[in-house]
Chain A
Amino acid sequence: MLSANELKAYIASGLACEHIEVLGNDGQHFEAVVVSSAFVGKSMVQQHQLVYQALGDRMRSEIHALSMRTFTPEAWANS
């Protein structure tokens, strides 16, 4: 069963992040907060695409449902 920590490691290995939080303990439904300077100047769609890209095929196989919020470091500091 996929754990929140494993999912966190998957994201971190594909995307340089300042901060990641992943919640979820049923192996299927997860909630993530991702803070990365790679998001600067990008639209919300592009930010989420970067996270999906980091997860690659896992989005189609292992991960059933992932809800996420993405922040630039500046937006995160102000949130």
Chain B
Amino acid sequence: MDTQEKIRSQVTSNPVVLYMKGSPKFPQCGFSGLAIQILQACGVKDLVAIDVLADPAIRDGIKVYANWPTIPQLYINGEFIGGSDIMRSMYEQGELQKLIETAN
């Protein structure tokens, strides 16, 4: 399976997927840490966190997949939602909580 197919499979077979640097317990970047905090504040139950530092092909491939040059990247029900700025903005407006609820 090539990287793009692998990513497509990851984001479509799991309700909430976060591509991040490090792990939820030990994020390796402030933006990834913020993304995890926001998801936890939204009450996410079934989060799949993928550490891009552990897989260079995914780290490069994910930027192509969503035409988005930065990490973290959040996907809900297969759809690209945004990076940490968009997550924060949607959280402040109460929109992200609703999306997470549909995925829980």
* Residues of A that sit less than 8 Å from B by CB: 44-45, 48-49, 52, 59-60, 65-69
* Complex CA distance for A16 and B86, rounded to whole angstroms: 22
Q: Chain A residues near B69 (CB, 8 Å)?
A: 52, 59-60
* Complex CA distance for A59 and B63, rounded to whole angstroms: 11
Interface residues of B in 49-104 (CB under 8 A from A): 67-70, 80-86, 89-90
With a 10 A CB-CB cut-off, give which of B69, B70, B81, B90 has the most chain A CB atoms. Answer: B69
Contact with A along B20-43 (1 / 0, CB 8 A): 000000000011000000000000
Q: Chain A residues near B81 (CB, 8 Å)?
A: 45
* A and B contact pairs by CB, cutoff 8 A, 11 listed: A44-B89, A44-B90, A45-B86, A48-B82, A48-B83, A49-B67, A49-B68, A52-B70, A59-B70, A67-B31, A69-B85
With contact pairs A65-B31, A69-B89 given, residues A44 and B82 touching in the complex (Cβ less than 8 Å):
yes
Q: Chain A residues near B86 (CB, 8 Å)?
A: 44-45, 48
